[in-house]
Amino acid sequence: MPKFKCLVTGACGFIGSHMVELLAEHGHEVIATDVQSTINAQEPIKKECVLTTQKMAQKLIPCDITSQKEVEKLPLDVDYVFHVASVFSYSAPWEVLYKVNVQGTVNLLEAIRKNQGVKRFVLWGAGGVYGEPKPEYTPFTEETPPDPPNNYQRAKWFQEFTTMLYGKKHGIKYTILRPTTVYGIRQFYGGVDFLKTGYKAGMLGLPANMNTHVPFVHVRDVCNMALYLAQKQEAENEIYNSNDDSRMTMIEVMRFIAAIYGKPFMVLPPVPVGAIKDILLFIADIDAYVSQKVLKKGKGLLEKDQLGMMNLDFLYSNEKLKATGYKFLYPDPKEGLIEASKWYKEGRYFDM
Amino acid sequence: MKSKEKKLTYIELALSSNDKLEAIMQSGTMPDVRDLCGWEFKGYNTFDLTGVLGFRKFKKGFTADSEPKSPTERIKGYNLKVVQNGIIDDWIDTGAPRYAFYEVYPAKDDPVENKYPNAILINYGASDKNPIYDPARFLRDYLVQVYPDNKDLFLGKAYVALGKARIFVSYFILERNNKNS
């Protein structure tokens, strides 16, 4: 197998650290980059990500991708760029999301355009760009028109759009992944909330009518498919939904997590989900106002944009990905969730 | 079971739907009591309420006064309380004494408890070791071997016998764990 020189942005985050690890395990040369504040992270899980990247990458270069000057200093004499860097937050202000996710991508693409040696630019988009499920677009395919429902997804869509524009205008070859709920070890935001809830709660329960599907993809699979597709001619200038074959429902997921941690689980009588969601969204508004204006803490406990996705039935097609011949490392999330739950438990990360 | 179907693991069985487990109950094979005798098995009740009530996880042991000579010989057994931790954790004995004793024999040999003729019957009412007032006496379990080539994995179905009525309580999964303590 040929060995490549690769650049990974956002290399000290959850997905970035896995990308670096996977590339290094395949014997490729990895130049890793991330913003200095992330490299300096002291929170235990974040620190694990940084340590992994430091151990596996040939070089770790601090770089703030929002600065064109800093980006231009990055070594871009590489075969592949895996652009993972992104603000992943449902409560970050639009200005921040735009600056990092969109402007940062523009800066990187500009630098690549000037170098012209990069064989493929692989971008981490987001499965959420399709917005709320619609009967005429079920399941979501790559042909479904994006309809990003919140600022985070909007920024991710702009990021994709920018990449496609650079592809068309400047001939930069790209592949875009749209991962759904990513999970795995070293995660500190997003899918890990399922495990954390299971670990912390005394008992788990869900109303019978809150049984929508939860799309999953293991972090190693997202990284593996990024490397796989980067080398595929047919994946040039293409977009791929990145989710596994499972169709677990919310009740199946929570029952499984309850079993992992030995917590009782009950299916509760149906509740008026719509009304509860409205109430929670209203509380989230108050929570955000108090946190930002009164307590000056930044984000509140509830994230309105995340709550907005509550009880929506997300189904994604991965037929396009599978047509390339890609074979999942974790076709069923149970194995990966067990592995992750053991990692969090042994490291006592949820006790900190 | 069709041979081409993916074989389910202990955890997958424990989280399977009742429909799937019922199909296995009907297609499973009769366990050879000689494979059970002398061993304790880690048990997991699939009914969610057992988690709330604190007996989701348990152990079942099988014994005999002398080593059984035939696959259908009558043997006996007991239950053990274990720590109610996660399904991926070890089955840890609480140290409590054995309880809920039973006799084991082919269900087809029983004039009443023969819902699954392919199963062995775990009859708690037949054991004189259970005190007369012990509610365990009302329990009747059927047990089948899930795959013919796996002598370590079993599926059970528990009923409560109330007069002539048999009330389904829960499926349970058993897997070989350790020699009798």
Residue-wise pLDDT for A195-225, tens only, equals 998 899 889 998 999 889 999 999 999 999 9
Structure tokens at A27: 């014997």
CB atoms A264 and B52 under 8 Å: yes
| Surface-to-core class of residue B158, CB atoms within 10 Å of its CB (0-12 exposed, 13-18 middle, 19+ buried) | buried
CB atoms B51 and A263 under 8 Å: yes
| Surface-to-core class of residue A268, CB atoms within 10 Å of its CB (0-12 exposed, 13-18 middle, 19+ buried) | exposed
Percent of chain B beyond pLDDT 70?
A: 97
Q: What is the mean pLDDT of residues A301-330?
A: 88
State the pTM of this model: 0.88
Residue type, A261: Y
Residue-wise pLDDT for A102-151, tens only, equals 999 999 999 999 988 999 999 999 999 999 998 888 899 999 999 998 99
DSSP state of B8: P
Residue B48, chain A, CB below 8 Å: the answer is yes
Query: Which of B15, B48, B86 minimises the CB distance to A262?
Result: B86
Give the position of tokens 């009923």.
Answer: B159
**CA distance linking residue A18 with residue A56, whole number of Å:** 10
Considering the domain boundaries, does residue B5 fall inside one? Answer: no
Considering the domain boundaries, does residue B2 fall inside one? Answer: no
Residue-wise pLDDT for B152-162, tens only, equals 999 999 999 99
| Beta carbons of B3 and A244 less than 8 angstroms apart | no
Q: Any idea what the CATH number is for the domain that residue B44 is in?
A: 2.40.128
Considering the domain boundaries, does residue B3 fall inside one? Answer: no
Other C-beta atoms closer than 10 Å to the C-beta of B95 total: 7
Structure tokens at A200: 């912390």
Domains and CATH numbers, chain A: 5-191+215-248+314-335 (3.40.50.720)
Name chain B contacts of A342, Cβ cutoff 8 Å: 88
DSSP state of B111: S
Q: What are phi and psi of B129, to 5 degrees?
A: -80, -20
Considering the domain boundaries, does residue B124 fall inside one? Answer: yes
Residue B15, chain A, CB below 8 Å: the answer is yes
Sheet of A5-9: strand order equals: A59-62, A29-34, A5-9, A80-83, A120-124, A174-179, A238-242
Question: Mutating which of A248, A261, A343, A346 best tests the B interface, going by the most B Cβ atoms within 10 A?
Answer: A261
Residue B85, chain A, CB below 8 Å: the answer is yes
Q: How distant is the Cα of B69 from the closest Cα of chain A, in angstroms? A: 38
Considering the domain boundaries, does residue B167 fall inside one? Answer: yes
* Overall domain count for chain B: 1
DSSP state of A128: G
State residue A289's pLDDT score.
81
Q: In this model, does residue A154 exceed pLDDT 70?
A: yes
| Beta carbons of A261 and A347 less than 8 angstroms apart | no
B94: left (phi over 0), alpha (psi -120 to 50) or beta: alpha
Q: How distant is the Cα of A140 from the closest Cα of chain B, in angstroms? A: 27
> Bigger pLDDT: A304 or B58?
B58
DSSP state of B54: T
| Beta carbons of A39 and A60 less than 8 angstroms apart | yes
State residue A95's pLDDT score.
95
Residue type, B167: I
Q: In this model, does residue A171 exceed pLDDT 50?
A: yes
Query: Which of A203, A259, A341 minimises the CB distance to B15?
Result: A259
Residue B42, chain A, CB below 8 Å: the answer is no
**CA distance linking residue A97 with residue A156, whole number of Å:** 9
State residue A305's pLDDT score.
74
Helix or strand or coil: residue A205? strand
Considering the domain boundaries, does residue B89 fall inside one? Answer: yes
Question: Mutating which of A199, A200, A206, A255 best tests the B interface, going by the most B Cβ atoms within 10 A?
Answer: A255
State residue B2's pLDDT score.
44
* Bridge partner residues of B60 (DSSP): B41, B79
**CA distance linking residue A136 with residue A124, whole number of Å:** 26
Query: Which of A259, A264, A266 minimises the CB distance to B87?
Result: A259
DSSP state of A234: G
State residue B41's pLDDT score.
98
Q: In this model, does residue B3 exceed pLDDT 70?
A: no
Q: How distant is the Cα of B83 from the closest Cα of chain A, in angstroms? A: 9
Residue B169, chain A, CB below 8 Å: the answer is no
Parent domain of B70: 10-179
Please name the residue of chain A whose CA is at the shortest distance from the CA of residue B91.
A262
State residue B4's pLDDT score.
61
Helix or strand or coil: residue A122? strand
> Bigger pLDDT: A72 or A306?
A72
Residue-wise pLDDT for A237-279, tens only, equals 999 999 999 989 999 999 999 999 999 999 999 988 888 878 8
Residue-wise pLDDT for B9-46, tens only, equals 999 999 999 999 999 999 999 999 999 999 999 999 99
The reply to whether omega before A215 is within 30° of 0 (cis) is no
CB atoms B88 and A338 under 8 Å: yes
Q: In this model, does residue A297 exceed pLDDT 80?
A: no
Q: What is the mean pLDDT of chain B?
A: 94
N-term to C-term CA, chain B: 33
ipTM of the complex, rounded to two decimals: 0.83
